[in-house]
Structure 1
Amino acid sequence: MPASFGGIMFQYTPRYPKAFGHPAWKLYGSVNDVLQQDLLWRKVQTDPALVASFAKLLDPEVRQEGEDIFLSDNTAISLHPESCGAYSTPRNRLLNRLHGNSEDKKFITEAEGYSALGGFYLGPLFRQKKGWLPENVYSNIIREIGLLLAQEDRYLFNRKACHNSVLMTDRDKQHAQQAIKDFPIDFGFKKFRVYWYSTENGSTAFGVVHFFDESGMIAKLPISAWQYAGNSAYNIVFDLLHPANKIPLYNLNDIVRLRPNSQYVLICSSETMCETIKQGYALISQLLPITTYSSIEISDWASLGSLIPLIFPDNTAAGCCQAFEVFLALKTHGLSPYFFKRHKINNISRFTQDISAITRQDGECSLPEFAEHCRREFGVEPPRGILPQGQPLLELPGSENEPEMLLEGLLRLGDQMTIFAWRGVGKSLFALLLALCFANGYKALGGKVCPSRKYRVLIIDAELPADSLKNRARSIAEGLGLPESAANELIVRSFVIENKDIRLDTEAGWEDLLLDLEQADIIIVDSLFKVFPTSMSTGISNAAAPNMFYDWCRKNGKTAIVVDHQGKKGDTAYGTMGKEIALDVVLQLKSGKCGIEVIATKNRNFESGEHCWTNYTIKNEASGMVFDVCQRSLIHSDSGLPCPDSEKSEDVDGDMPVVSVPTIDQAIVDYVKENPTHGQKEVCAAVVDMGICKRAAAYNHYRALRENGMFADPMENNPSVQLDDDTC
């Protein structure tokens, strides 16, 4: 784009700084530093957005015009694909193109020495405008923009502006080796070796260069061939980059050739290991293909097909860690690898012993065996989640302490429970009774409610105004014989008082309640549909929110008690059965002829021979609201049906009336005791006359009691008066 300078129109012409394996920038520091600096400037060449962020760092008042960014002094920074990251100033009349030969060194040196004129990368501009030392430009940029780069990122980078990666001919391979020899960056390497990676048909895709100094290999980089996208002529250049296509495994041509006749493939830790085994142990290379990878992350593992991978790692701690990474990569492709163990001692004899396991039947080992070997031999722990987590039943760790019982034979601290009933039966009163007992460490209902200490209890109430909730709590506390202050042990979050929805099925609701939830030991929710309104429908997915709440409570050692509504059928809570998945206890309250019956329709953690957990009545007395335990039925019949009238009756004031009418079973037993000579007909007629039940129900209960040995019918042995039960 044109820019005015001193009355002269300056035309900035984008030109691509073609490094072709030569640097378009100076690099400083250690090998690792140099590799990461090189990656940063490569990203600049291929990422206009990154260049724009650098320009703003140089000058907050930059402006963009087309594919150029201009600083306040009219210095132009290119965003054009062929020159991205290069810059020029109005005084610069020529921006030289790098050609990938010895002349490039001269151009780069001139650009570094005269940074005010122009350059192939932005480093000189940072020195000029920010006053940074050349060796600190990279680290200062990284710190200023918060960019994180690692050496592995440099190894995986596979972008070259305006170029496409191409396969390599034998001539290209010779030229590539010469380019590496002449590579002008002084890494401190004394020698190198290239390992070539082939395609399926044997063509060369790229190479991996091992660079060495006196102490051994210190760097490994890929080398590949690239062709300028706009040039149809045969103009191949080389760069230390992975190709942009799928990355083949080492010796892919051998894998494809041997795959039809082999069941296994040997995966080594490096190209050097592959060649050592192929040259020194030729029998193994005849039995199965031998391969390795240039990168675990981007290699084309799918080319193994159905071959079973055998991982042969280095005999080091790092070798164990790398083997685990390879295992995880192979598992994502549906493969089931095995391992070979390596001895820690590093000599020819041990290596031969390790290699010989490949030729032995069952010489390989499974993941758990390999993990144990790495622990013992190299002190390496496997990655979290890689091993199966199951344990033998009798070796499962138990709690050092006995579980704290809250409800006898029913509920422990950390268990999850729901209570459901018809409207008006008193489920909210029962939940408040439990809350007061737990918060004050007080036993009730004949010891059925049995906390061993005080607990921190949170009530999330969506039903009552403050006065009603306070009055109920005071009345129950007085009936229990507790002081009025006992009610103050409860912590309450209230819809009505706070004048807002309090929900546990939204992220905002969780955030609002989390601090209170974390402080509590026991959380009582009244009711489910107000706190989890998304659970109103019967779809299975609508149970997700309460089940997630129960799971959170369980993981954090807390007990949740949620009040729910009874379903239309009468024997389950309203809505989907999916709401019970995460529950340990489901309690149903039924209003019967002997008070309120508490029935455990689900009791996960205890063996229960009785369906009914307890019976109680509620009386409003001068001393408060009293919960009295009824005399239990001698025989409980699951066939007994609830009384619809009593169960569906509404309790406007929230207080339950006193119910003193006996149950059917109790009435029969009491009548037989008083009239031992009366037979079935007289007993059943008397019970029907009491108005307790109809005739069919009386005969059913009479037969059940008699069959369970509660009494004998005196008329059974008198054929003249014996009745046919089926006709009654």
Structure 2
Amino acid sequence: MQCSTATPGTEEVVIPGVRVCTINELIERKFPPREVLLSPWLRRQELAMIHAWRGIGKTFASLEIGYAVSTGGRFLGWQAPKPHGVLYVDGEMPAVTLQERLSRIITSEDLEPTPEMFRIVTPDLQDICVPDLATTEGQALIEEAILPETDLIILDNISCLVRRAGRENDSESWLSVQEWALKLRSRGKSVLFIHHSGKSGAQRGTSRREDVLDSVLALRRPQNYEGQEGCSIQIHFEKARGLSGPDVEPVEAKLITRPDGTRKWEYHAAEEGIADAVVEMVHLGMDRKEIIRELRESYGKSQATAYRLTEPFFKKPSQ
């Protein structure tokens, strides 16, 4: 289908229009399968976000994810079937800090990436500053760094990399970045946005950011967390398109330093912490529907799991 524009006395200009197919044509069309980059949630053409309050550990987690994807390694219970190219765009961290964190990951893991599989943009190596992804010029500069083998682009973080888009809660300000992310997805690329959480616990700014995302992960402190514990987090799926059940259950993880200075992540299901949260909500006088809604929206629980967790507190007396 084509569109044409012409005024009297001028030459007609033909503009490509919207491509349309029938239902049978779509079903019969051979599309390449969405390859898994980090099982089960991070797939090819994925648009995802991790958000957390400052200091929780979102950069620790995003570096580990990038490293696992680039080496065919593992982070927590998530496994990369094989190595995929990663471009990590950092917007605020001093290069020496980034160097230290990556060095510790390398010495703590069994696998090392080939150099071209994990590539980094860091502010300290730029002549001026990192590109502003709210502008087409900034987007073009990052695209120049995307190689054919780059399958995952990690943008850490939105506040530092998207600077001229206007107010964070203005939905229109996100459109240029969203359109760029969709173009990258159409080219087979995956994009992982790293962002801050707001006071409500949701990602900071306009909720429109989440409309096109396949996955949204929130990092939170475990209940009864104490500062001397270091990096200790709970990971909650707030949105997980195409996933359900155990794949989206919250995980509690802690970064442990071994006697030799290397590090490892210990992790387990975060069921216990959620049970404590249910007790607190019951004591606050919330009814069962309100608690189930909170478990689904804030903790990523399925309807069935939320119902089970509330059952002991609202069980009807036997007749």
Q: Is the 2:72–2:81 Cα contact (8 Å) retained in structure 1?
A: yes
Q: Is the 1:436–1:486 Cα contact (8 Å) retained in structure 2?
A: no
Distance 2:245 2:145 in 1: 34
The amino acid of 1:459's aligned partner reads Y
SS of structure 1 residue aligned to 2:103: helix
**Residue by residue, what CA displacement relative to the aligned partner does 1:263-318 show, whole Å, maximum 9, x if unpaired?**
xxxxxxxxxxxxxxxxxxxxxxxxxxxxxxxxx9668xxxxxxxxxxxxxxxxxxx
The corresponding residue for 1:589 is: 219
Q: Say if 1:487 and 1:478 are closer, same or farther in 2 by CA, change over 3 A.
A: farther
The amino acid of 2:266's aligned partner reads D
Distance 2:170 2:199 in 1: 16
Structure ID, larger Rg: 1
Structure 2-normalised TM-score? 0.74
2:91 alignment partner, one of 440, 455, 462: 462
2:51 alignment partner, one of 420, 426, 432: 420
Structure 1-normalised TM-score? 0.35
Q: Does 1:580 align with 2:210?
A: yes
Q: Is the 1:474–1:487 Cα contact (8 Å) retained in structure 2?
A: no
- Report the Cα offset of residue 479 of structure 1: 2.6
The amino acid of 1:602's aligned partner reads K
- Report the Cα offset of residue 398 of structure 1: 4.1
The amino acid of 2:311's aligned partner reads E
- Report the Cα offset of residue 555 of structure 1: 1.1
The corresponding residue for 1:707 is: 311
Map 1:212-611; keep pairs closer than 5 Å.
Answer: 385=17, 388-392=20-24, 395-400=27-32, 402-446=33-77, 448=78, 450-482=79-111, 489-498=117-126, 499-519=128-148, 520-535=150-165, 536-570=167-201, 572-593=202-223, 595-608=232-245
Q: Say if 1:398 and 1:634 are closer, same or farther in 2 by CA, change over 3 A.
A: farther
SS of structure 1 residue aligned to 2:56: coil
Q: Percent identity?
A: 20
Q: Is the 1:462–1:496 Cα contact (8 Å) retained in structure 2?
A: no
Distance 1:640 1:398 in 2: 47
SS of structure 1 residue aligned to 2:63: helix
- Report the Cα offset of residue 384 of structure 1: 5.6
SS of structure 2 residue aligned to 1:406: strand
- Report the Cα offset of residue 544 of structure 1: 1.2
Q: Structure 1: any 5+ residue segments left out of the alignment?
A: 1-295, 300-324, 330-382, 642-663, 665-692, 718-728
Q: Is the 2:84–2:117 Cα contact (8 Å) retained in structure 1?
A: no
Distance 2:18 2:206 in 1: 36
1:696 alignment partner, one of 261, 277, 283: 283
The corresponding residue for 2:299 is: none
Q: Please, what is the CA RMSD of the aligned residues?
A: 3.9
Answer 1 or 2: higher relative contact order, Cα 8 Å, separation at least 6. Answer: 2
Q: Say if 1:623 and 1:512 are closer, same or farther in 2 by CA, change over 3 A.
A: same
Q: Is the 2:40–2:247 Cα contact (8 Å) retained in structure 1?
A: no
Q: Say if 1:610 and 1:415 are closer, same or farther in 2 by CA, change over 3 A.
A: closer
**Residue by residue, what CA displacement relative to the aligned partner does 1:581-614 show, whole Å, maximum 9, x if unpaired?**
2211111111113842211111123345775343
Distance 2:254 2:133 in 1: 33
Could you say which structure has the higher strand fraction? 2
Q: Say if 1:624 and 1:609 are closer, same or farther in 2 by CA, change over 3 A.
A: closer
Q: How many residues align?
A: 283
Distance 1:515 1:619 in 2: 38
Distance 1:526 1:462 in 2: 6
Distance 1:587 1:399 in 2: 28
- Report the Cα offset of residue 512 of structure 1: 2.4
Q: Say if 1:527 and 1:635 are closer, same or farther in 2 by CA, change over 3 A.
A: closer
